[in-house]
Amino acid sequence: MKHICAITLFVAAAALDGKASGFLSPSASPLTAKSTRLFAKERGSGYGPPLENISEAVGNTPMVKISNRLCPEEFLSAYHRITFPSNPLSSVKDRLALAIIEDAEASGELKPGQTVIEATSGNTGIAVAMMCAQRGYPCVITMAEPFSVERRKLMRMLGAKVIVTPKAGKGTGMVEKAKELADKHGWFLCHQFETESNWKFHEKTTGPEILNDLAGTKLDYWVTGYGTGGTFHGAGKYIKANSPDTTIVLAEPGAANLIGSGIKTERNDDGSPASSHPAFAAHPIQGWTPDFIPLVLEKGLDQTLQDEMVEIPDGAGVSMSQSLARNEGILTGISGGATMWAAVETAKKAPAGSVIVAMLPDTGERYLSTPLFASIDADMNEDELEIARSTPSFILEPAA
């Protein structure tokens, strides 16, 4: 008997606005999609009144359908769904940055003109740089050497100064460097891996959005990876409280099986990591699983929010991300591909009619210098040259 599953992916990867969502009625099928009424506003009607600033564009990420091309037909029905975000800098970390800055302003911990500093693999840094640019704070980011150069350039484009730390120091090195600089210069340190502002914002926004968008449809599985653990902790807490039968699936790289090891992270008094986790090994999923278990994640684990763990094999994130691009036109990063892989594996064993929501955290353009694009050439290949030569004009022949 065939398994029939509806997959819903909650993707933070594109700058679409939340008010013009464009997802179909839950009763729709791809065969009738063109004639089905859309929940989206009609194209050309506009977003609405102008926003006061770019931070107001964060959140309210709509759901969009996907096809059944990404896994064997026997596991999937003709009806699937996927979501895209409205986050202006194309990452789920836009929510985190907004939460930290707004909470620090409200508490008085962040003062006008004070420099903001954070350690990041890139997405949080880009989002923090955006918020600092919008609100007039100088911004300094520490980032370990292996993370993609595109991220450094984006942060510098947004006005941030980027301090690159040596590869040998891994994630703990960039975190320690940020703390040193904050202590020496009196800067505001975001503490994304420790602050409750992180998960609480996801509890207030991301979790409700997921369940509200399903409009009463039962959510059977929610699949996510972790970076800081904020999405898992906050959205997971809301989902468990309001949809207790939902199975939460947490994924991590098989090469860096920190949670699966059962070994705790040693911590400093402020909750930051005191040392690199012994189970950590280098892996290609940038933004996921630093070389320590973040405190935000640990507190979510302590509440046993996760029901299942999935280990992502080497290469699966890259392969699935490329499949999403080529089959669905969805450009997401390696972490998005890894989460989708976990969602497909979940679908294979799910009962008939299951609804699965998965989180795709960012856009693929952040990975141009990584293994995700290693097989993508800039120059024309033989097939492209053959097409070019099929007519006589304007043929750019390769150099001898």
- Residues marked as catalytic: 93, 335
**CA distance readout (Å), 61 to 20, 64, 115, 208:** 10, 10, 30, 11
Partners of 247 in the β-ladder: 221
The Cα 347–Cα 351 span in angstroms is: 8
Find, among 10, 193, 155, 18, the residue nearest to 88 by Cα. 18
Cβ contact 2:354 at 8 Å: no
- Please identify which residue in the block is written with the tokens 């763990």: 309
The Cα 257–Cα 252 span in angstroms is: 7
Amino acid at 27: S
Cβ contact 207:102 at 8 Å: no
Looking from the CA of 307 toward its CB, the CA atoms found within 13 Å total 15
Cβ contact 152:162 at 8 Å: yes
